Amino acid sequence: MRMLHTMLRVGDLQRSISFYTEVLGMQLLRQKDYPEGKFTLAFVGYGGESDHTVLELTHNWDTSSYTLGDGYGHIALEVDDVYKAAEDIRQRGGKILREAGPMNAGSTIIAFVADPDGYPIELIGKK
């Protein structure tokens, strides 16, 4: 077994694709409309689905926003330099939720950013 993808419901598909590709540097791997179901799926990631876990962005055509709830945590991305990655994301228009620095009760360097729908994304320094 292996993990294939994580699905996020998004309110504005193009805005989300732009964030994940232009701000976080992922690639749009595939996208398909399902007119009978009134939704579109877009898959983004850092490599092909045969070798990498990716994100499935689901846009229900009749829904422009979602309540995130308190059960969702975050997506985590490993980066070489958390301080630089957070600053690069800020420069590309990304929202920083927590500035880069050591995690609470630990020494691992982390930061948090938000995608356009408010989903938190943790940046973790490469060990």
Q: What is the pLDDT of residue 105?
A: 86
- Assess if residue 69 is contained within a domain: no
**Are 53 and 79 part of one and the same domain?**
no
pLDDT digits (tens, 9 = 90+) for 35-55: 999 999 999 999 999 999 999
Strands 27-34 and 75-79: unpaired
pLDDT at 6 over 90: yes
Q: What is the pLDDT of residue 57?
A: 97
pLDDT digits (tens, 9 = 90+) for 98-118: 999 999 888 899 999 999 999
The mean per-residue pLDDT over the stretch 67-94 comes to: 94
Q: How much of the chain is in helix, strand and coil states, percent to nearest 5?
A: 15, 40, 45
**Are 98 and 51 part of one and the same domain?**
no
pLDDT digits (tens, 9 = 90+) for 14-42: 999 999 999 999 999 999 999 999 999 99
CATH number at residue 112: 3.10.180.10
- Assess if residue 15 is contained within a domain: yes
**Are 43 and 10 part of one and the same domain?**
yes
- CA gap 51, 40 in Å, rounded: 23
**Are 83 and 51 part of one and the same domain?**
no
**Are 55 and 87 part of one and the same domain?**
no
In whole angstroms, what separates CA 19 from the centre of its chain? 8
- Assess if residue 44 is contained within a domain: yes
- Assess if residue 109 is contained within a domain: yes
The residues annotated with a catalytic role in the active site are 122
Structural domain containing residue 51: 5-60
**Are 51 and 83 part of one and the same domain?**
no
Q: What is the pLDDT of residue 85?
A: 97
Q: What is the pLDDT of residue 56?
A: 97
Reduced to 3 states (helix: H, G, I; strand: E, B; else coil), residue 22 is helix
Instruction: Look at the chain and report how many structural domains it folds into.
Output: 2
pTM as predicted: 0.89
- Assess if residue 66 is contained within a domain: no
